[in-house]
A and B are shown apart, each in its own frame.
Chain A
Amino acid sequence: MDGTLIIFWAFAGLAVTSALACITRRSPVASALWLVVTLFSLAALFVLLDAQFIAVLQVLVYAGAIMVLFLFVIMLLNLGGAGPTDLKGPLGLGVGVLLAGLLLVQLLVLRQAAAASAGGAVRPAAEQGMIPPVARLLFTAYLVPFEITSMLLLAALVGAVVLAKRKL
């Protein structure tokens, strides 16, 4: 077992553990902070998978911007304290665990087939996720989706203002 694999499994374990903590903590603030730990470990996994630019974006956009937005709303609504538990009752718990377990089994079966079909060689690091290869593709083949993304963000901006403002 080489070093990369050890680091990979360490961060993967951290990601899964903190994700479990995120869905079981009572206080929304604790959930949000555990989710930040998950997002950071995912950024580390992205680096190990040769996606350095995406890893930086993950930390800046997800762990930075989006989670700050979540924490901001939690603080604004004064939900910081641990209220009464909001987990569902025994029936809901059983059904939820059953459905999620079923999905996990399906995904793992699917994973066998997918990993077998894509067993090509790993591309050299120079073709991978540093900024130049990603940017070249983003501004040539995927230019139109990129521009449409700006429309999406504009719509989200207007929508958020319209929804959250008391009186226009």
Chain B
Amino acid sequence: MLLGPALTVSAVLFAVGVLGVLLRRNAIVIFMCVELMLNAANLTFVAFAQQLGVAGQIFVFFVMAVAAAEAAVGLAIILAVYRHRHTLDLQNINLLKG
């Protein structure tokens, strides 16, 4: 019976990911924290799939595909931003601010 422990670990990992997004200013590190949150959600899916059927693991598959697409596009955006501003500190990337 690993459902309860797995959900606890998943909650802690998700909170750590949120903490990273809130505390850091480096765009790449924030991006990595988002990946961490996606992985915490995956752990929840897998934990429930053990009891409720294998369909939960299919959703992990889709989450991974979305994460891969997100990483490719997001890192391309980071490259483009760095080329224009020569920084990844989100304090200095405020072009959209009115």
Contacts and interface: CB of A to CB of B under 8 A. Distances in A.
B52 A118 contact: yes
Nearest to B72: A160
Nearest to A110: B11
Identify whether the interface residues of B are mostly helix, strand, loop, or mixed.
helix
Interface residues of A, number: 86
A49 B79 contact: no
A24 to B, nearest CB: 8
B73 A163 contact: yes
B93 interface: no
Could you tell me the dominant secondary structure of chain A's interface residues?
helix
A95 B19 CA distance: 10
Given A22-B32, A23-B33, A123-B53, A57 B64 contact: yes
B57 A87 contact: no
Contacts of B62: 145, 149
B72 A156 contact: yes
Contacts, number: 234
A79 B86 CA distance: 11
Nearest to B4: A115
Contacts of A128: 49-50, 54
B51 interface: yes
Contacts of A62: 35, 39, 64, 67
Given A19-B36, A23-B33, A87-B23, A120 B2 contact: no
Given A5-B5, A96-B22, A122-B51, A22 B57 contact: no
Interface in B1-58: 1-20, 22-26, 28-29, 31-33, 35-36, 39, 42-43, 46-55, 57-58
User: Most chain-A CB neighbours within 10 Å: which of B1, B14, B51, B57?
Assistant: B57
Q: Which 5 A-B pairs have the closest CB atoms?
A: A96-B22, A23-B20, A156-B69, A107-B11, A104-B15
26 contacts: A9-B5, A22-B36, A28-B26, A42-B43, A49-B6, A49-B47, A51-B46, A51-B57, A53-B57, A57-B61, A61-B68, A65-B68, A70-B28, A73-B28, A76-B79, A87-B23, A95-B22, A114-B7, A114-B48, A118-B52, A120-B52, A128-B49, A134-B61, A156-B73, A159-B76, A160-B76
